[in-house]
Amino acid sequence: MKFTRSIGARWGLSFLAGLVLLSLWFWLVDGASPLEVLRFFTTASSDVAPPVPFGRVGGVLLVLFVLAWALGLGIVLIQKLLGIGYGPMPVARLVVREATRMRGSVVPIFLLLLVLAIIPATLNTDSPLRYRIQSYLAYSLNVTSLMLGALTVFLGCFAISNEIQEGQARSIFSKPVQRFQYLFGKVLGISVLNALLVAVCGLGMAFVTTTWLARLPALDDYDSNAVREQILTARQVIYPQAPFDLEADAQERLARLQEDNPGWIEERGGVATVYRELLHQVRTEWLSIGPHRQQTYIFSGLQNARDRGEMLQMRFLIEMMPEPPDRILRVVLLANGRQTSLATTIRSAQVVSVPADFIDENGVLELTVVNLDPSDPETLPVASISFPAKDGLQVLFKVDDFLPNLFRSMLLIWVKLVFLAMLSVCAGTFLSFPVACIFALTIWVLAAGSSEILDSLHFTPHEHSHGHETEEQATDFIYERIVVPTMTLMVSGFRKYSYLDVSSRIVDGRNIPWGIVRQYLFWIGLVWSAAIGLIGWLIFRNREIARVQV
C-alpha cells in the first residue's frame, strides 16, 4: 500500500537525519570527528578501543536516538506481524495501534526511554566505576519493570472495560468474533507491545552499560577488574553446606527438650515452632566461630568451574561481636587444605579469588575458617565471628556473559508482564476501569512483594513486653491465628512471582539460569495466565455487552 511505503520512507529519512545531527553534535560540541566516532563504535573490546568520544549530553542524545528509532521500527514491524491472520490478530493489532497513539500510554513510554537515557549522565563521576554501573543497572531495571507494569495494568484494564463503557464492544460483538478470541486478542496485543518495549529497554541498558559506561576510565585496576569480573558477567553462586546434618542435630535437641521439659515446648507454641527455632539456632551456631575455633563449610557442584579453569570468587561478609577498634580482623581461610587469605575487614563484603585447581576432582571445595591468627598472638581476636545467614558466605564462578544474562532477565520481566496483562484484561471484563485498575494493582503489589510479605509474617519477633497482658494476648491471638494464616494463604500462591530478585541478580553479576526462565515461562506465563484467563472468559461469556454499568 502506498500509505505504508511512505511510512517506511519516513523512518529511513528520520534515521539518516538523526545520524547526521548526532555526528554534527559530536563533532562540534564534543570535538570528535566522525572518523573517531566510527572507530569507537567499530572496536568492541575495551583494550584497543579509543576513549568515549562523546560527553554526557551527547551520550543522552545518542541513547535517545537509538531507543526512539528502535521503538518506531518495532511498532511498524509488530503491526505488520499482527496484520497477518484473522480472529484475535486484528484485535491485538488494534490494541497496539491505540496504545501507540493514546497519550495515556505514549507519554509514559517516552518518559521511560528518557529516564533510561538520562540516568547515565547523572551518575557521580567521582565514585568508582563499578558503583556507577551498579546504580545504573539497579535503577534502570527497577524503573523498567515498574513503569511497564503500571502501563500494562492501565492498558489491560482499559482494553475491555472502556470498550464496553463507550460502546465499541457493541459493534464488535455484532460481528463474528468469539469472546475468547477478543479476550485473547487484547492480551496478545498488550504482550506483543510489552515484548517490544522490554526489548527496547534491554537494548538501551545493554548499549549504555557496554558501549558507554564500561568504556569510561575506571578509578584503578581493582575497579576495572571488578567491573569486568563482578558486574559485567554472569556468575553461578554456590552456598555452603555443613559437614554434619543440621536437621538431625535439631531433631536431637528437640528430643532432649521433650524429655526434659515438655511443658516449656507447649508454652513456646508447639513442637513445630520449637523445631523451627532449633533449626535456626543450629544453623546460626554453625555459621559462627568462637575465639580460637574453626568451622568447615563445604561447597559442592563445582565441576563446571573446575573444567572452565577460571578463578573462583569467594565472597564473604563477617560480623564480629564486639567489634575490634580498627575493624580489621584476622582469619585463616583454608581451601581444600591450602591457605588463601589472612586479613580482612568486617561488615563489608570481601571477594577473594581462588584458583580453579583448588577444587578436587569431585567438584568439591572444603573451606575451613579459623578464627585465629597464629603468626601474631598479640592481636588475637577474643570475640566470636559469624557469617550472616543470608549471603554471608558463598563461592561464585563465571558461567556466562553479561549480555545473555541481561537478555534472560528481560525475558523474566516480560513473562511477569504477560501475567499482569492477563490479570488486568480479565479484571476489565467485569469491573469498570478505575475499579479494575485498583483490583489489578492490588494483586500486582501482593504478588511482587510476596517474598517480603511472607518473610515478615513468619519472622516477626514477638516481644512480650510489659503492659496489659490480656489485651496483648487477644491481639496476638488474632494476629497469629487469623492475620498470619490468611495473609500466608493469599500471598504464598504468588511466591513464585517474586522469589527471584531479577535486578539484584544483574547488579551482582549473578547468572539467571535458563532453567529458572523456563520455569517462569511455564508456570507464570502459561499456567497462571491460562487459569486467570479461563476465569475471565467464564465471567465475560455471561456478560451482557450492551449493559452499561453506572
Partner 1 sequence: MESKQTVVEVRGLTKVFRDFWMRPRVTAVQDLDLSVRKGEVIGLLGPNGSGKSTTIKMILGLLFPTKGHISLFGKPPTDVALKKRVGYLPEDSNLFRFLNAVETLDFYGRLFHLPPSERKRRIEMLLGMVGLEGAMYRPIGEYSKGMQRRMGLAQALVNDPDLLILDEPTTGMDPIATRQMKDLIRHLHERGKTIILCTHLLGEVEDVCTRLVIMFGGRIRAQGSVDELLSVPELQNIEVEPLRPETIEKIDALIQSEEQKKIRKVETPRMRLETLFLNVVEKAEKEGLQTSGATTGGRLAEFLGESAGDRALDLDSLVQSLPRPEPVAPAQTETETPALDHDLLRTMSGDEPVETPGLEEGLEPVEPVSEEADYDLLEDLTGAERPKKKPSSEIEADPETEGPR
Query: Within the chain, what is the greatest distance between any pair of CA atoms?
Result: 90
Considering CB distances under 5 to 8 angstroms, the limit depending on partner class, which of partner 1, ligand ATP, none binds residue 548? ligand ATP
Q: Is 239 among the residues that bind partner 1 (CB under 8 A)?
A: no
The H or E element containing residue 388 is: none
Judged by CB, which is closer to ligand ATP: 171, or 375?
171
CA distance 491 to 493: 5
Q: Smallest distance, Å, CB 548 to ligand ATP?
A: 5
In angstroms, what CA-CA distances link 371 with 223, 257, 288, 315, 352? 29, 31, 10, 17, 17
- Interaction pattern, residues 458-477, with partner 1; x per rule: CB under 8 A: --------------------
Judged by CB, which is closer to partner 1: 89, or 367?
89
Judged by CB, which is closer to partner 1: 99, or 367?
99
For 379, which DSSP code? Answer: G
State CA 163 to chain mean position distance: 34
Q: Is 196 among the residues that bind partner 1 (CB under 8 A)?
A: no
Q: Judge whether 148 and 112 are in contact, CB under 8 Å.
A: yes
Q: Judge whether 34 and 27 are in contact, CB under 8 Å.
A: yes
Count CB atoms within 10 A of the CB of residue 379.
Answer: 14
Q: Is 292 among the residues that bind partner 1 (CB under 8 A)?
A: no
Cell numbers linked to 474: 487477644
Considering CB distances under 5 to 8 angstroms, the limit depending on partner class, which of ligand ATP, partner 1, none binds residue 167? partner 1
For the residues of 134-199, what is the DSSP string, one character each?
HHHHHHHHHHHHHHHHHHHHHHHHHHHHHHHHHSHHHHHTTSS--HHHHHHHHHHHHHHHHHHHHH
Binding residue for partner 1, selected from 135, 178, 241, 300, defined by CB under 8 A: 178
Binding residue for partner 1, selected from 66, 94, 193, 367, defined by CB under 8 A: 94
Burial tier of 415 (Cβ tally within 10 Å: 0-12, 13-18, 19+): buried
Judged by CB, which is closer to partner 1: 176, or 467?
176
Q: Is 108 among the residues that bind partner 1 (CB under 8 A)?
A: no
Cell numbers linked to 177: 468474533
Judged by CB, which is closer to ligand ATP: 100, or 161?
161
Q: Is 55 among the residues that bind partner 1 (CB under 8 A)?
A: no
CA distance 158 to 108: 15
Binding residue for partner 1, selected from 174, 258, 442, 492, defined by CB under 8 A: 174
Considering CB distances under 5 to 8 angstroms, the limit depending on partner class, which of partner 1, ligand ATP, none binds residue 222? none
Binding residue for partner 1, selected from 175, 390, 464, 468, defined by CB under 8 A: 175
Q: Judge whether 385 and 496 are in contact, CB under 8 Å.
A: no
In DSSP terms, 241 is beta-bridged to 298
Q: Is 56 among the residues that bind partner 1 (CB under 8 A)?
A: no
Q: Is 547 among the residues that bind partner 1 (CB under 8 A)?
A: yes
Q: Is 547 among the residues that bind ligand ATP (CB under 6 A)?
A: yes
Q: Smallest distance, Å, CB 103 to partner 1?
A: 10
The H or E element containing residue 312 is: strand 312-316
Considering CB distances under 5 to 8 angstroms, the limit depending on partner class, which of ligand ATP, partner 1, none binds residue 256? none
Count the residues of the shown chain that bind partner 1, applying the rule CB under 8 A: 26
Binding residue for partner 1, selected from 176, 263, 322, 515, defined by CB under 8 A: 176
Q: Smallest distance, Å, CB 158 to ligand ATP?
A: 21
Q: Is 107 among the residues that bind partner 1 (CB under 8 A)?
A: no
Query: What letter represents residue 50's amino acid?
Result: P
The H or E element containing residue 487 is: helix 484-492
Q: Is 170 among the residues that bind ligand ATP (CB under 6 A)?
A: no
Q: Is 177 among the residues that bind partner 1 (CB under 8 A)?
A: yes
Judge if the upstream peptide bond of residue 240 is cis by omega within 30 degrees of 0: no
Considering CB distances under 5 to 8 angstroms, the limit depending on partner class, which of partner 1, ligand ATP, none binds residue 544? partner 1
Binding residue for ligand ATP, selected from 19, 111, 380, 548, defined by CB under 6 A: 548
Binding residue for partner 1, selected from 30, 36, 98, 373, defined by CB under 8 A: 98
Please name the residue ranges forming H helices in 393-461.
402-430, 433-448, 450-458
Cell numbers linked to 436: 479494575
Q: Is 167 among the residues that bind partner 1 (CB under 8 A)?
A: yes
Binding residue for partner 1, selected from 33, 168, 258, 475, defined by CB under 8 A: 168
Q: Which residue is nearest to ligand ATP (CB)?
A: 547
Q: Is 4 among the residues that bind partner 1 (CB under 8 A)?
A: no
Going by C-alpha positions, the residue among 518, 487, 503 that lies closest to residue 134 is: 503
Q: Smallest distance, Å, CB 3 to partner 1?
A: 8
In angstroms, what CA-CA distances link 17 with 75, 409, 506? 20, 33, 35
Q: Smallest distance, Å, CB 547 to ligand ATP?
A: 5
Considering CB distances under 5 to 8 angstroms, the limit depending on partner class, which of partner 1, ligand ATP, none binds residue 172? partner 1
Helix (H) and strand (E) counts in the chain: 22, 11
Cell numbers linked to 308: 572452565
With H, G, I as helix, E, B as strand and everything else as coil, classify residue 232. coil
Q: Judge whether 378 and 361 are in contact, CB under 8 Å.
A: no
Q: Judge whether 423 and 186 are in contact, CB under 8 Å.
A: no
Q: Smallest distance, Å, CB 165 to ligand ATP?
A: 12
Considering CB distances under 5 to 8 angstroms, the limit depending on partner class, which of partner 1, ligand ATP, none binds residue 173? partner 1
Binding residue for partner 1, selected from 125, 171, 348, 375, defined by CB under 8 A: 171
With H, G, I as helix, E, B as strand and everything else as coil, classify residue 461. coil
With H, G, I as helix, E, B as strand and everything else as coil, classify residue 74. helix
Q: Smallest distance, Å, CB 157 to partner 1?
A: 17
Count the residues of the shown chain that bind ligand ATP, applying the rule CB under 6 A: 2
Considering CB distances under 5 to 8 angstroms, the limit depending on partner class, which of partner 1, ligand ATP, none binds residue 89? partner 1
In DSSP terms, 230 is beta-bridged to none
* Interaction site with partner 1 (CB under 8 A): 3, 86, 89-90, 93-94, 97-98, 101-102, 166-168, 170-178, 544-547
* Interaction site with ligand ATP (CB under 6 A): 547-548
